[in-house]
Amino acid sequence: MAQIEVKNFQRPDETREFEHNGKADVVTLGGRQVARGTFEPGWRWSKDIGPIAGTERCETYHLGFCVSGRMRVTMSDGTEKELGAGDAVAIPPGHDAEVLGDEECVLIDFGEIADYAKRG
């Protein structure tokens, strides 16, 4: 019989530090990773995660919920969307992103984040 799993981001299974300006706390539930990303003011994917990923754009699919703050996502074709507290979002691979304003942006990510910001 399947078991109920409960975990808390205050005690994550793993914390992935970004190059600068933030981190992702990760818990594993049902064999999948869920992340709480804390993106500090000044965070931009291309400078904070790009060096870890080794790609020009983020190639991760994100499915998430914005808890606080604001972020702009720019797709490789130039399409831009802004998201903020209370917004649910699906972001396909091939994007850059940046925090807007001077408040950290906190996102819960249920997407394909097994390797997101993971070193080595």
Mean pLDDT across 46-57: 96
Residues 31-57, mean pLDDT to the nearest whole number: 96
Q: Residue 29: what pLDDT?
A: 95
Whole-number pLDDT of residue 120 = 78
Q: In this predicted structure, what is the pLDDT of residue 1?
A: 76
| pTM given for the model | 0.93
Q: Rounded distance, CA 2 to CA 67, Å?
A: 30
Give percent of the chain above pLDDT 90. 97
65 Cβ neighbours under 8 A, 6+ residues apart: 87, 88, 89, 107, 108
What integer best gives the mean pLDDT of the chain?
96
